[in-house]
Amino acid sequence: MRFPRWLQPVSLAATLAFTRLEAGPAPVPQEFIQEAALHHDASAPLPKGSVQLVDVSRDGVSRALIGKDWFRLTSGRWVRDEGLPPNSGTTFTFADNSGRPRSIETGGGGVSQILRSGLVVHLLTDSAAFVWEPSGTKRLEWPADRRIRQGAVNSSGLLVLASDAGLFAVESTGSQPIPAMDRFGRSWAVTNVLGVAFDSRDQLWIATRAGVGCRTGQGWVFHDGRDGLPWNDFTGIASGPAGEVWFATHLGVIRWDGKDFHYRQGPLWLPDDDVRQIAVDPTGSVWFATAAGLGGIERRRMTLQKKAELYEDEMRHIRRTPYGYVAEAPLASVGDRNSAAPGDSDNDGLWTSMYGAGECFAFAATRSPEAKARAKQAFEALRFLQVVTQGGEHPAPKGYVARTIRPIEWPDPNVGRLQGDLEEQKHDALWKAYEPRWPKSADGKWYWKGDTSSDELDGHFFFHALYHDFCADTESEKARVRDVVRDLADHFLAHDFQLIDHDGKPTRWGVYSPRELNRNPLWWAERGLNSLSMLTYMTIAAHVTGEARFADACRRLIDEQGFAQNMMFPKVQRGPGSGNHSDDEMAFMCYYNLIRLTQDPLLRAQARYSFFESWSIEEPELNPFFDFAYAGVNLDQSVTNGWGSFPVSPWPGWLEDSMSTLRGFPLDRIDWPAKNSHRLDLMPLPQSAGRDLYDRHRPGRGFRVGGKVLPVENRYFEHWNTDPYELDHGGAGKVLGSGTVFLLPYYMGLYHGFIAKP
């Protein structure tokens, strides 16, 4: 009987295949186009107040009309344009194509758009079209009962108006309808055309509630949600210098790059979602007229290395204690990084490990002394989490690591905790309710938090293996790493592969005992992941210390307890988007070092295939850390099983997906809210993926047409354990996220040669 390819197991006789299947990808260039929202820039604030319109003159000068006054962009700052007198009554003042002030009588209608062509300027209200020329001004023939939505002028000077009655070409003698019909006979411009523009190739674009259309040399092409169009409540269109087209809507803006649509919504990108008008300057930067003020998105050339440096600098707002623990930082004031007040996190050990791992890759790739210093600081911070638990009134067994620490001067975190733990036990039979959860250190300077999780352990081992191999380049440094790893690994050997707290009992999630994983029904869901973790821990301990007893322990877990078979199915899941995403993050850290360091060819082959199964579930998530960890050990590799040789190289597109995320990461790491559930380009996640052991039902989850999760520009997350299928984020602008989500995959990609060196 033949199994489907995705079900074919690795046989016990599987062997590692070293055959190179294809040449590795060429390193991706450093330079790219970075988008940055400008309305948060306190050093060059944008004007506030209701913006009537934005205008970019033919010489590239950007202006905005707010109230009666014109503002002008000068040397990167918006200032009152003293060359243009204020508007008043029925007179509209504007700059001609030479920048000189001009005015026309509009009859009381407010001008909503300025169009420029040669020496001619068209000015539009919602019911009239005017033509200004040096020789004078005239009003074009236009029926009073047609509402003008927007106008556009092509390179020949032809004026086209979008109206509630359709699309029209307008000349001095009158107007003629423009049909917009595709080869199937569908017409999208019969009535209520919401926007119109000519792009840089003189192609005509329209926007309607049905979607958007473009008249190409081969005829009209229409796009709707099935083609990736995110939204359709349009207010206008603007074209850019490189063929891009921007669409304004009542709920954000959209950019077409010639291939895909990109959505920008929420306070991360805009001062207000209801965008009245868009103007694009010659650099490709774009300006938005909104009721809450002027918005802008700058599109500038940047390198990935420069982006990493910006995130590294921002980590100063997040570091906590002299040891430099990192997680995320609450903000006292909305959007103000300088008001950051970082506190302890349950997972300080994990987040500091992942940040430090990024610095290990950075040093290995660049030999930067600054990167090595940051990696060393992370090592000292993680080492201290092991040291601080020893001694005092409530000492933990040797090797035990704390979750985190907090200074003794802070309020006692034990006060009021026990009742909460007792409540938690009602929902989780294995939850620990004990005192103190936060013992004091022997020197009385710190509270340290117990009940340490498997998340932390995976992070510690992930980091220590990398620090030992990449950064500890003296014997004394390697010896310190050996001591830390040995003590933690010996702790497991001494306690039946369990993490034993100061109360003499295992922590809630620190259970790796074969007796519990294989025979206790309460632990079956953790069997696969915890088996993978413990095999990785013992493999790393054997590698770092050189002591055979850890390799022997790994062998016993495989031969006598079936841990390698357990590892083959590390996660309880029902396809993409199901299960706990923290498990994915933990598993990928373990797979990477297990495959990299094991001396057992059979175990490596099994781990390769298990990693393939796990990565194939995560492949739609556009996750560069997952992709680079996977490709770093499985690129161009195969395994051999009972059906022959099976390739486990990542599928085509993995590098493009990863780079789209690294390039797309907003420079602003503040938790601004994001709304996507209304979008037209989404598919709901199957209900089965929202039902698992952890959440009975998780509504509001989905992915884009094409099968991938939403781009990173449309969502906020603090760490890679966040569910990428959640469509909306209810942030409030009061948390600064760590840059680790960029730094770790970037430096990992740099180390493996997926990204070109700076």
Residues near 156 by Cβ (< 8 Å), separated by ≥ 6? Answer: none
Note whether residue 615 is domain-resident.
no
Q: What is the pLDDT of residue 91?
A: 87
Note whether residue 400 is domain-resident.
no
β-partners of residue 500 are 506
Q: What is the pLDDT of residue 90?
A: 79
Q: What is the pLDDT of residue 43?
A: 83
DSSP 541-554: HHHHH--HHHHHHH
CB 506 within 8 A of CB 500: yes
Q: Which residue range(s) make up the domain with 73? A: 49-291
Q: What is the pLDDT of residue 22?
A: 43
Q: What is the pLDDT of residue 690?
A: 60
Q: Which residues in 553-595 belong to E strands, given as ranges?
A: none
Dihedral sign from CA coordinates of 290, 662, 465, 315: negative
β-partners of residue 234 are 249
Cα–Cα dist 22/588, whole Å: 23
Q: What is the CATH number of the domain that holds 232?
A: 2.130.10.10
CB 563 within 8 A of CB 484: no
Q: In the chain, which stretches have pLDDT less than 70?
A: 1-23, 108, 688-699
Residue 304: what residue type?
Answer: L
Cα–Cα dist 741/673, whole Å: 18
Note whether residue 746 is domain-resident.
no
Q: What is the pLDDT of residue 2?
A: 28
Burial of 523 (0-12, 13-18, 19+ CB in 10 A): middle
Cα–Cα dist 324/550, whole Å: 31
pLDDT digits (tens, 9 = 90+) for 429-468: 899 999 999 999 999 999 999 999 999 999 999 999 999 9
DSSP 138-163: EEPP--TTSPEEEEEE-TT--EEEEE
Which H or E run contains 276? strand 275-280
Distance of CA 208 to the CA centre of its chain: 31
Q: What is the pLDDT of residue 116?
A: 93
Note whether residue 93 is domain-resident.
yes
Note whether residue 584 is domain-resident.
no
Note whether residue 143 is domain-resident.
yes
Q: What is the pLDDT of residue 11?
A: 30
Residues near 758 by Cβ (< 8 Å), separated by ≥ 6? Answer: 30, 303, 304, 305, 366
Cα–Cα dist 363/359, whole Å: 6
CB 69 within 8 A of CB 86: yes
Note whether residue 132 is domain-resident.
yes
Look at the chain and report how many structural domains it folds into.
Answer: 1
Q: What is the pLDDT of residue 669?
A: 97
Q: What is the pLDDT of residue 89?
A: 74
Q: What is the pLDDT of residue 593?
A: 98
Cα–Cα dist 360/459, whole Å: 13
DSSP 515-537: HHHHH-GGGGGGHHHHHHHHHHH
Note whether residue 150 is domain-resident.
yes
Instruction: Tell me 469's DSSP state.
Output: I
Sheet containing strand 293-303, strands side by side = 31-37, 293-303, 286-290, 275-280
Q: Which residues in 99-231 belong to E strands, given as ranges?
A: 101-105, 113-117, 120-124, 129-133, 136-139, 148-153, 159-163, 166-171, 174-177, 195-198, 204-208, 211-216, 219-223
Instruction: Write down how long the chain is.
Output: 758
